[in-house]
Amino acid sequence: MKISEGDTLPQVKISKVGESGPEQLDTREFFAGRKVALFAVPGAFTPTCSAKHLPGFSEKAKELKDKGVDEIACISVNDPFVMAAWQKADGSGDVTMLADGNGDFAEAVGLTMDGSNFGMGRRSQRYSMLVEDGQVRKLNVEKPGDFSVSSAEHMLTQL
């Protein structure tokens, strides 16, 4: 079942690279007590994700935070090392890179896609969501091949 606005995010484990290596995160704890602009991409270093999605949130970070966003996070079905390398290559220090290595989060929110035709297997759909204290306030899911409603610019209009 696909998550909807008003729903509480499911509790699953995700990860990120910290100072001493990979750190496991609990989604309930990560999103608790704050406003998070979360966006999901099908894969790190992929064309639209690298050329538009991540750079857009990085460029609009100050504006998002000025409108009350506490944290901006990108999640993808990649391992934490790939997400850290992508952040380093992109220079997006204002975006927390979250790894959904096994696709558990994408599956739990019902936003998976099958990228097998591209050799990518099961991945996350492209979307953005505004999460307040673990509850989905805005959800913007792209149609396959599109990039518009999940952009940072669109999210700014929703704040």
The domains of the chain are located at: 7-157
pLDDT tens-digit readout, 37-80: 999 999 888 777 777 889 999 999 999 999 999 999 999 999 99
pLDDT tens-digit readout, 126-135: 999 999 999 9
CB 17 within 8 A of CB 83: yes
CA torsion sign for 23, 24, 25, 27 is positive
> Does residue 113 carry a pLDDT above 90?
no
- Note the pLDDT of residue 51: 73
Edge-to-edge strands of the sheet including 35-41? Answer: 21-26, 13-18, 96-99, 71-76, 35-41, 127-132, 135-141
Q: Is 74 a catalytic residue?
A: no
% of the chain beyond a pLDDT of 90 = 75
Determine how many CB atoms are found less than 10 A away from the CB of residue 151: 20
Q: Which residue has the tokens 């599956």?
A: 107
Could you say which of 9, 14, 49, 54 is catalytic? 49
pTM for this entry: 0.93
Name the more confident of 20 and 70: 70
Calculate mean pLDDT across residues 83-93: 87
> Does residue 119 carry a pLDDT above 70?
no
Q: What is the CA radius of gyration of the chain?
A: 14
Q: Which CATH superfamily is domain 7-157 in?
A: Glutaredoxin (3.40.30.10)
Q: Which residue has the tokens 């999940």?
A: 150
- Note the pLDDT of residue 43: 84
Mean of all residue pLDDT scores within the chain: 92
Structure tokens at 47: 């064309």
- Note the pLDDT of residue 92: 80
Calculate mean pLDDT across residues 104-112: 96
Structure tokens at 28: 């309930």
Calculate mean pLDDT across residues 155-159: 96
Burial label, 72 (beta-carbon count in 10 A; 0-12, 13-18, 19+)? buried
